[in-house]
Chains A and B, each alone.
Chain A
């Protein structure tokens, strides 16, 4: 790592740590106001991300015109900065004794039984909607959870974030984890393995249709389900108010194994993606549209 890059990374770390101290000490209304201001500023100044967000909203057909897409994009920015602020606040305020006051679990009887069975490993797909950090934290109160995540480029930030996000029953494991059996081991212990599956991935991917357009999606969750036979749910937390959420689940999602691996992976990943699309259509203002979701295909 060059000295200049190292310095840049360290400056990023200091800025983030300072913000974390502020968010941790300030009252919630002030934190939320600051998050709102942060959203407006980033929307105004970060032109490339704003453009991607607006384009994605238009491509998905969520809004018919540029003006509507712009409004929706700002709402999506607000949702994201609120997520960051509330996740930091929530880490301190949501405890084993009070989390149910903040998070309402709207689960199907099958999903509830799976989440409350301490012996059975469970696979959970999630998406960048509502507050995924709180969703993982809340679910960890019911069952230990291992969340697979994409590491930050900044190694200092990476270390700090992992330390901060890890909880008693909540572990974050990099997708680049060198032990290939790490996720299977978690499942054998009766834990949840959770993964966000609505981001572009460059390797180990399958092309699914998302809002009618091809999008590269990780195949790891489908492969874990097909080989371990662990049940598979889609789960997400919608924001219903300041530090108030509703966790919902879809599934168990199942597809019969045909003997054709690629076909099975595609069918299962498409089924999960279809469910994510339904949620994103229903709550577009809470969906993070800033990803370059359709990257890697001609004309995208």
Chain B
């Protein structure tokens, strides 16, 4: 079972469910199997593509660097939440409130996503 999911999702980790994962899922089943595994560059590209899709955000995505501050990109209190929602859906993750406020720069976000996707 584990190897099938591993092949499908390009994940080759052992099937040991963490205590945080839902107990209603079959034994050995990890929710992270649905998460795409990505390199840092792929994460960055995905972020840029998501930013381009934000209809109400008027920014030049290519001018954003890893050092850019998230709050200086051009978000307002609604567009930032739209972005977070889309981010969670795109990467199949859940971003906790406390993590959300601690992420200050684009590079922090990329690093955070990298950590989340690594399980």
Chain B residues with CB under 8 Å of chain A are 56, 71, 75-82, 84-86, 88-89, 95, 97-98, 100-101
**A149-180, CB under 8 A of B: which get 1 and which 0?**
00000000000000000000000000101011
Q: Is A261 in contact with B86, judged by CB distance below 8 angstroms?
A: yes
- A184 contacts chain B at the CB level, 8 A cutoff: yes
Residue among B77, B79, B88 making CB contact with A182, cutoff 8 Å: B77
Q: 8 closest pairs, A vs B, by CB?
A: A223-B81, A204-B78, A180-B80, A180-B75, A227-B84, A228-B97, A227-B81, A180-B77
* A187 contacts chain B at the CB level, 8 A cutoff: yes
* Complex contact B97–A175 (CB within 8 A): no
Q: Chain B's nearest CB lies how many Å from the CB of A180?
A: 4
Task: Name A225's closest neighbour in chain B (CB-CB).
Answer: B81
A177-B77, A180-B77, A181-B100 known; A227 vs B71 contact (CB < 8 Å):
no
Is A226 an interface residue when CB atoms closer than 8 A count as contact?
A: yes
* Residue from A181, A183, A218, A226 whose CB has the most chain B CB atoms within 10 Å: A181
Instruction: Report whether B76 and A180 are in contact in the complex, using a CB–CB cutoff of 8 Å.
Output: yes
- Total contacts A-B at CB 8 Å: 59
Among A181, A182, A183, A223, contact of B85 (Cβ-Cβ < 8 Å): A223
* Cα–Cα distance between A152 and B102 once the two chains are bound (Å): 32
Give Cα A218–Cα B82 distance, bound, in whole angstroms.
13
A204-B56, A204-B78, A224-B81 in contact; A181/B86 too (CB < 8 A)? no
Known interface pairs A181-B100, A181-B101, A230-B97; A261-B85 also in contact (CB < 8 Å): yes
A233 to B83, CA, bound (A): 24
Given contacts A204-B78, A219-B78, A220-B78, 5 further A-B contacts (CB under 8 A): A180-B76, A187-B97, A188-B100, A188-B101, A226-B85
Q: How far apart are B92's CB and chain A's nearest CB, in angstroms?
A: 10
Give the chain B neighbours of A181 by CB distance below 8 A. Answer: 71, 77, 80, 100-101
Q: A259 near B97 (CB under 8 angstroms)? A: no
By a CB distance below 8 angstroms, the chain A residues around B80 are 180-181
Is A112's beta carbon under 8 Å from chain B?
A: no
- Looking at chain B's contact residues, the main secondary structure is helix
Let me know if A185 is at the binding interface, CB within 8 A. yes
Q: Is A121 an interface residue (CB 8 A)?
A: yes
Shortest Cβ distance from A25 into chain B, in angstroms?
39
Cβ B71 vs Cβ A184 within 8 A: no
- For the complex, what is the distance from the CA of A187 to the CA of B75, rounded to whole Å? 19
CB distance from B22 to the nearest CB of A (A): 15
Could you tell me the distance in whole angstroms from the C-beta of B57 to the nearest C-beta in chain A?
Answer: 11
Is there contact, CB below 8 Å, between B77 and A220?
yes
Q: Which residue of A lies closest to B84 (CB)?
A: A227
**Can you give 6 contacting A-B residue pairs, CB < 8 Å?**
A185-B101, A223-B78, A226-B85, A227-B88, A228-B97, A261-B86
Given contacts A180-B75, A180-B76, contact A188 B98 (CB under 8 A): yes
Q: Which residues of A contact B77 (CB under 8 A)?
A: 175, 177, 180-183, 220
